[in-house]
Amino acid sequence: MDVVVTSEAAGFAKPAPQIFQLACAKLGVQETESVYVGDNLELDAIAARDAGLIGVWLNRLHGGLQASPRIVERINRLSELSELML
């Protein structure tokens, strides 16, 4: 990995937008050009979306929000990520 950002070193943790923004800054990319994939809907996908990234929920258990409108992108397997990004 080229960049590792930990909450201990950064001084803030998810869902704070600063942790996502710091990671993007260290990578030299804009938030709007970045995708964050995580298995926690609120702490990962929604928090990333609120920080300006594309938030993707890795919903391996296929639970929750099935009947609700999409508030973030949702995949069930990492192999689906490439299809989502087309």
Q: Over its length of 86 residues, how does the chain's per-residue pLDDT go in tens digits?
A: 789 999 999 999 999 999 999 999 999 999 999 999 999 999 999 999 999 999 999 998 876 655 445 688 889 999 999 988 87
Burial class (CB in 10 A: 0-12, 13-18, 19+), 48: buried
Burial class (CB in 10 A: 0-12, 13-18, 19+), 32: exposed
Q: What is the pTM of this model?
A: 0.85
**CA distance linking residue 25 with residue 64, whole number of Å:** 32
Contact 19, 43 (CB under 8 A): no
Superfamily of structural domain 7-84: HAD superfamily/HAD-like (3.40.50.1000)
